[in-house]
Structure 1
Amino acid sequence: MSTTAVVVTVLAAVMAGFSGGAIFVRAAFVVGPLAEYGVPQAWWNWLGAAKAAGAVGLVAGLFVPVVGVLAAIGLVLYFAGAVVTVVRARAYAHVPFPLVYLAPAAASLALIG
């Protein structure tokens, strides 16, 4: 695996892990918009767990590539769904935020896949 792939994958893992952790600690900058978009609070822990699992999977993928590919696919789908959720909520000014997390996950998938 190239150095670029490792750096991008670790960056994607750190970002996804940070985002997942922010949900678990109920950081206002994450859960406020979730409530605004109409995402049920009962889903928040599951969404945080999905991000955390994706982050762990990306790191594990440095050693077992198929796990990294699957984790990257999961994160790309997750953040694509987040973009759809933001658009459906008509919060167009917020669309860049999930894209910031989607980009490194997609780049990681492209580099390791």
Structure 2
Amino acid sequence: MTLLPNEWWPTALLALVLFVDAAMSIRPPQFIRDCLAGVNFPREWWWTLIVIKTLAVVGLIAGIWMPGVAFAANVGVIVYFCSAAAAHIRARNTGQAFWINCLGMLALSIAVLVLSLTL
């Protein structure tokens, strides 16, 4: 096993989605503000999410050519969204943002990991 994605496009798709998510978080629309406030994430720490997502994008893209990097970045994204899901559950904030945004991104991240290693 070389730990290079068998197909580049699932990894690139996840990188694109995370890039858009990070870009939207620079000036978060109302649904992102509601989501972060709903889990009691302090506003002065919102910038950290942009950094985390941007680093994940860089890792995913670099990992298309560098063995193991996309795998590690993809696992990191999965851990990030598992943590987000736990925060939603802990805060009892399980509305639309939880089901569509949080769990949807978690499902996409898991699917990309599986697809990139099995295709």
Fold in common (TM above 0.5): yes
Under a length normalisation based on structure 2, what TM-score does the superposition of the two structures give? 0.82
Identity between Structure 1 and Structure 2 (%): 29
Tell me which residue corresponds to 2:28. Answer: 26
- The structure, 1 or 2, with the larger RCO (C-alpha pairs under 8 Å, 6+ apart) is 2
The CA distance in 2 between the partners of 1:32 and 1:95, in whole Å, is: 11
Tell me which residue corresponds to 1:50. Answer: 52
Matched length = 111
Aligned pairs for 1:5-44 (under 5 A) are 5-44=7-46
The CA distance in 2 between the partners of 1:35 and 1:81, in whole Å, is: 16
Structure 1 stretches lacking a partner, 5+ long: none
- 1:109 has 2:113 as partner: yes
In structure 1, what residue type is equivalent to 2:110?
A
In structure 2, what residue type is equivalent to 1:95?
F
The CA distance in 2 between the partners of 1:59 and 1:104, in whole Å, is: 16
Under a length normalisation based on structure 1, what TM-score does the superposition of the two structures give? 0.86
Structure 2 stretches lacking a partner, 5+ long: none
CA offset at residue 42 of structure 1? 1.8
Higher helix fraction (1 or 2): 1
The CA distance in 1 between the partners of 2:25 and 2:54, in whole Å, is: 10
The CA distance in 1 between the partners of 2:93 and 2:44, in whole Å, is: 21
Tell me which residue corresponds to 2:79. Answer: 77
Q: Is the 8 A contact 1:79 1:98 kept in 2?
A: yes
**Deviation readout 1:14-71 (Å, 9 max, x if unpaired):** 1111111211122222122201220001221111110111112111111113111111
* Rg (Cα) greater in structure: 2
